[in-house]
């Protein structure tokens, strides 16, 4: 029999439901795989007992003939940005180290209600700020992939690098991620897995540690389009506790999956052929167009003229919202408190935040506070919001000419850890293809396309209309079937 850790969400769910194996057997196999993969540093905290308890509950339901749920018997990794009752939730920061919430995030509760179990809390860039998973207080996450001919530790992408590494390494069949400017799609592309950011508001933000509230959105990361569709159905849904939650029924994305794209038009944005993009990335994009033509779609040229302004606008809006959201971490109510002898309240605030926040978080707080200050608010923040509106208008116009948009996910493949640590601008440019869809709140997905000459994965990105996750998933399925990407990293951990 195939090793249980080689199975994805659908295969595990159906195998448990059909009695091929028990949910406990699955949980035990993945718990063992997590323990063996400590060198990846993908998990901050492991919760084997949670995975086993959830598995036993599913097995008991099956014995009684009860419904097992959309994720029945599937153990997953939970990005450590989601509050989990009684389990440490840190956002990979020192300032929240040791914090154990008394409540459960809506997304994680939805998954437990659907029959999933938790293998542990996954590492990430601190407060989801980063593109390489090098800003975590708990150390870097290493990609399971290696560049051919070297033994250098490679970036799994960020901020959901622990999630992408765990899924690619087969130590979790799926994981939650969050995407603010590409933090599901970019790590998915770097590690050869699938990841979808749904329309803003599809998944509740309640109980998710906030970075930029008008951009943050939870989504699934898994090894196939089908698995992402299944998990997204379990995660999504209206939540009255979240004022930005969409009061809409969750579609049957899994049941309606179809790789037949006859009658569909695929938009190719001319502005995405940017200087500095790897030739192999552009070649994979051309191949993606051919795959979608083979699926019956018509490929059309479109324009997104404000693309070049999207990244600078994002790095004004996101830090501005971060500076506001992170003001709550002050050492008074929870988390770290640094109280020097004889210090007053302001001194405690300063000492706690200086000790508790990493350099990248401090950088973004400073940027955000600056652009929100009285003398610069109109010059920077107001202008960035105007650009955001123009980016959204570009997409609205483009979708009068096409059904979905195809683009690269990232301008390059993964890079060695440490290569861009001292160059924030180069790091920010990793998000150049993913940020525009985030600013517009659109559903967008990365699907693996091929390996480059260095043996590293490259991903293709599909962007859809608001609420059209089905169109995105269907185009992703068409690419998946034709790319036939089944490469795995060679185990070194």
Distances (CA, A) of 298 to 71, 267, 268, 301, 354: 35, 9, 11, 10, 54
Phi, psi for 442 (deg, rounded to 5): -90, 155
Q: Confirm whether 159 is a catalytic residue.
A: yes
CB proximity list for 64: less than 8 A, separation 6 or greater? none
Centroid of chain to Cα 370? 28
Is residue 107 within 8 A of residue 177, CB to CB? The reply is no
Three-class SS of residue 306? coil
To 5 degrees, how large is the angle CA 456–CA 459–CA 460? Answer: 155
Half-sphere exposure of 298 (CA within 13 A, CB side): 9
**Exposed, middle or buried: residue 373 (CB in 10 Å: 0-12, 13-18, 19+)?**
exposed
> Cα–Cα distances in Å, from 264 out to 228, 403, 466, 469?
22, 6, 16, 15
Q: How far apart are CA 266 and CA 255, in angstroms?
A: 23
Catalytic residue among 79, 121, 146, 197: 79
CA-based nearest residue to 443, from 395, 388, 384: 395
Catalytic residue chosen out of the listed positions 131, 132, 136, 159? 159
Query: Two tokens at 447?
Result: 């699907």
> What are the two backbone dihedrals, phi and then psi, of residue 236, each rounded to the nearest 5 degrees?
-80, 165
| Contact status, residue 28 vs residue 52, Cβ threshold 8 Å | yes
Please check whether residue 174 is in contact with residue 9, taking contact to mean a CB–CB distance below 8 angstroms: yes
CA 258 to chain centre: 24
Neighbours of 487 (CB within 10 A): 14
The partner residues of 444 in beta bridges, in order of sequence, read 197, 463
Give the 3-state secondary structure of residue 401. Answer: coil
Alpha carbons 422 and 125: distance in angstroms, whole number: 15
Would you tell me how many other CB atoms lie within 10 Å of the CB of residue 486? Answer: 8
**Under a CB-based contact definition with an 8 Å cutoff, are residues 266 and 301 in contact?**
no
Question: Active-site residue among 183, 245, 434, 446?
Answer: 183
Residue 342 and residue 48: Cα distance in Å, rounded?
Answer: 44
Is 183 marked active-site? Answer: yes
Q: Is 132 a catalytic residue?
A: no
To 5 degrees, how large is the angle CA 245–CA 445–CA 167? 100
Active site residues: 79, 159, 183
């Amino acid at each position: 029999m195939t090793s249980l850790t080689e199975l994805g969400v659908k295969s595990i769910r159906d195998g448990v439901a059909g009695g091929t194996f028990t949910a406990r057997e699955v949980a035990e196999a993945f718990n063992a795989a997590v323990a063996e993969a400590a060198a990846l540093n993908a998990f901050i905290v492991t919760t084997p007992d949670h995975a086993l308890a959830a598995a036993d509950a599913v097995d008991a339901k099956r014995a009684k003939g009860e419904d097992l749920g959309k994720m029945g018997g599937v153990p997953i990794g939970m990005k450590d940005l989601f509050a989990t009752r009684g389990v440490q939730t840190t956002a990979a920061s020192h300032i929240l180290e040791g914090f154990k919430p008394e409540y459960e995030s809506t997304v994680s509760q939805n998954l437990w209600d659907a029959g999933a179990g938790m293998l542990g809390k996954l590492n990430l860039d601190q407060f989801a700020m980063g593109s390489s998973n090098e800003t975590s207080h708990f150390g870097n996450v290493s990609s399971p992939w290696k560049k051919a001919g070297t033994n250098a530790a490679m970036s799994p992408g960020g901020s959901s690098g622990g999630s992408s590494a765990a899924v690619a390494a087969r130590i979790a069949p799926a994981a939650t991620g969050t995407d603010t400017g590409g933090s599901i799609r970019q790590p998915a592309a770097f590690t050869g897995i699938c990841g979808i950011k749904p329309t803003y508001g599809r998944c509740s933000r309640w109980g998710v540690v906030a970075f930029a509230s008008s951009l943050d959105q939870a989504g699934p990361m898994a090894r196939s389009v089908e698995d992402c569709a299944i998990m997204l159905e379990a995660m999504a849904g209206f939540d009255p506790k979240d004022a930005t939650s969409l009061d809409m029924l969750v579609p049957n994305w899994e049941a309606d999956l179809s790789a037949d794209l006859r009658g569909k038009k695929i938009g190719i944005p001319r502005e995405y052929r940017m200087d500095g993009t790897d030739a192999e990335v552009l070649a994979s994009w051309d191949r993606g167009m051919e795959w979608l033509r083979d699926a019956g779609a018509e490929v059309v040229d479109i324009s997104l003229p404000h693309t070049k302004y999207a990244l600078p606008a994002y790095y004004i809006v996101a830090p501005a919202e971060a500076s506001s959201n992170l003001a709550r971490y002050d050492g008074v109510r929870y988390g770290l408190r640094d109280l020097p002898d004889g210090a007053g309240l302001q001194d405690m605030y300063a000492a706690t935040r200086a000790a508790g926040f990493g350099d990248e978080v401090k950088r973004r707080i400073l940027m955000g506070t600056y652009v929100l200050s009285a003398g610069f608010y109109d010059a920077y923040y107001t202008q960035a919001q105007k650009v955001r509106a123009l980016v959204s208008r570009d997409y609205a116009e483009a979708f009068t000419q096409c059904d979905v948009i195809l683009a690269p996910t990232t301008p390059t493949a993964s890079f060695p850890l440490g290569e861009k640590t001292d160059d924030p601008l180069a790091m920010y440019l990793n998000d150049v293809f993913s940020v525009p869809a985030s600013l517009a709140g659109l559903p967008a997905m990365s699907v693996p396309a091929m390996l480059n000459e260095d043996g590293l994965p490259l991903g293709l990105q599909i962007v859809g209309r608001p609420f059209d996750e089905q169109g995105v998933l269907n185009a992703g399925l068409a690419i998946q079937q034709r790319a036939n990407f089944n490469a795995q990293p060679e185990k070194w951990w």
